[in-house]
Amino acid sequence: MKSVTLHDWQLYGEEPMSRAQQNLFNAACECLSTMQWHGGYLSHDDVRHILTAMVLSWRIIPGLDMGDGKPSVIVLPRSSKELSKSKATEAIQMAFCLGDDPSQFGLSCNPVQWSQVVRLARGISDSDEEFSLRYA
């Protein structure tokens, strides 16, 4: 994957997210899939859906009455392809916050070890000892 810089992904506007943003968002979601989520693990796609839902909001509607007396709801997800440049920047930043400090979000697990692609996109050089020890 081609290196992504801060200028490639910190974009704003209502146009669809850029390819660089899409690539970085997917890389960050892949890293986040390695952390425990309330005792279990989520797939890369699960993480992507959660972050997209946080930014775009899922719609929840009443479900159909199946005659069993159980109330139900249907969650209508949104696709990450709907993210604008601004919303993609927000989702990527949210991913970084979640991975850097999971306890802030009620998760009891260690911070994520970010991939080189993500570290470089954040401006964290592998030669920067202070940061490379924390993120490598």
pLDDT of residue 51: 93
pLDDT of residue 71: 72
Could you tell me if residue 70 is inside a domain? no
Domains contained in the chain, number? 1
- How far CA 98 is from CA of 13, 31, 105, in Å, comes to 24, 11, 7
Could you tell me if residue 72 is inside a domain? no
pLDDT of residue 111: 95
Other C-beta atoms lying within 10 Å of the C-beta of residue 132: 14
Could you tell me if residue 105 is inside a domain? yes
Could you tell me if residue 45 is inside a domain? yes
DSSP assignment, residue 84? B
The string of pLDDT tens digits covering residues 87-122 is 999 999 999 999 999 999 999 999 999 999 999 999
Domain that holds residue 84: 6-54+80-135
Tokens found for residue 18:
């850029």
With the C-alpha atoms ordered 103, 106, 109, 112, is the resulting torsion angle positive or negative? negative
Could you tell me if residue 67 is inside a domain? no
Walk along the chain (136 residues) in steps of 10 and give the mean pLDDT of each run: 73 94 96 93 93 87 79 81 94 96 93 93 76 52
Could you tell me if residue 68 is inside a domain? no
Could you tell me if residue 118 is inside a domain? yes
Could you tell me if residue 109 is inside a domain? yes
